[in-house]
Amino acid sequence: MTRVLYPGSFDPVHNGHVELVETASRLFDEVVVGTLMNPSKGGGLFTLEERMELLDECFAHLDNVRTTMFDGLVVALATEVEADFIVKGLRAVSDFEAELQMAQTNLAISGVHTLFLPTASRRSFLASGLIREVSRLGGDVSEMVPEPVRLRLAEKAGA
């Protein structure tokens, strides 16, 4: 049985993340989607609890996917959930350098390898930060995020 951890900040989860989890759920026996703080991104729009609620709604249709949240190192979460591998998505070559460095750091400190899955090109422009900005300024994000996320973004924008 192979269990993988898909970590991210998911602030909020978007259709590129959904595609990756759907692919991973076909490739591996179990997928744990873990939402963590990205120390370089500040506090964010959604709390970790809100991000996890949205992840739960977005992945309710996948039996072998579960979600969790964690405050700490991604490799500590990988150990806690007994993941065999970490999986990450690559949208474009611009993601590669930072992701490779994180993968190599995580391997060095834990022995856990990271597997990369490419994002379909039609979703490679998706980024949570831009989605937050478009929504905050009244733009339409319905092609970029699942419906529960669109609704929560609209609530935040109207608040």
> Which of 102, 107, 134, 154 forms a contact with ligand PNS (CB under 6 A)?
102
> Which of 5, 9, 78, 146 forms a contact with ligand PNS (CB under 6 A)?
9
* Residue in 9, 25, 128, 135 annotated catalytic: 128
Active site residue 156: no
Shortest CB 148 distance to ligand PNS, Å: 19
Query: Cβ distance 46 to 36 under 8 Å?
Result: no
Kindly report the number of other CB atoms within 10 A of residue 76's CB atom: 14
Judged by CB, which is closer to ligand PNS: 56, or 99?
99
Q: Tell which positions 18-77 bind ligand PNS, by CB under 6 A.
A: 36, 38, 41, 73-74
Provide the 8-state DSSP code for 120.
P
Query: Cβ distance 88 to 120 under 8 Å?
Result: no
Shortest CB 103 distance to ligand PNS, Å: 8
Among 130, 139, 155, 101, CA closest to 16:
130
Q: How far apart are CA 143 and CA 14, in angstroms?
A: 10
How many residues bind ligand PNS (CB under 6 A)? The answer is 11
Shortest CB 38 distance to ligand PNS, Å: 4
Q: How far apart are CA 58 and CA 33, in angstroms?
A: 11
Active site residue 91: yes
Which residues are the active-site residues? 17, 41, 91, 128
